[in-house]
Structure 1
Amino acid sequence: MHDVLALCAEASTTLSPWLSVWEAAEHSVADQHLATAAAHWEYDLLGDELPWRAMKNADALVSELGSWLVRYAPPRLLAQDASDSLLHRIRLIGLTGPARWTDPHWPNHRY
């Protein structure tokens, strides 16, 4: 699913309508795909990078995807029994600057 989202975002140069569709899909399969995507995306988003190669608007897409994930994903991930470490990394995406890097749950990634 996350690969399809990247394809749609690149083709349309926007994420908003695709994220809205995913958000509206209240089904366990959509939540399973969200858990897979979040685990795939978190490393790049913690480094303020887009988890795919963008042709245009990469900074705006990073910001939008990160904000959406922080706002939307936690309750759905909890329903999928996501690990505490994944939930902390999603929370960290919403922090900026020293608040992110000095948080006790920072995974010590090197970018």
Structure 2
Amino acid sequence: MAIEGAIGVALVDYESGMSLGTLGGGHDLDLEVAGAGNTEVVRAKVRTLESLAIDDSIEDILITLRGQYHLIRLMDRGHGRLFLYLALGRERANLALARHRLRRIESELSV
């Protein structure tokens, strides 16, 4: 939540769609619902890469709304497939810096 413009963040298991932890959010952003919904986005993109026989992995996915950025950073650790989900207010966010900080958080995160 120290990332400029952060509204909320979640760590989500995209095999089950369950959030393993959340911070922020509130009545304007239900992080449990957002995490489950973005699970479908991740699954669809993974299936698309497989269908196209693209032998590569997804680093992150950006969804741009009028007032927000939603950044999904995939992690591949242990037995589960996880992603970090970060919602940012566009008026205060620096997208490049947020992506950099999220990458660093991922590298330091112990799951």
Query: TM-score higher than 0.5 here?
Result: no
The answer to which structure, 1 or 2, has the higher relative contact order (CA under 8 A, 6+ apart) is: 2
Normalising by structure 2, what TM-score? 0.28
Q: Which has the higher helix share?
A: 1
Q: Which has the higher strand share?
A: 2
Normalising by structure 1, what TM-score? 0.28
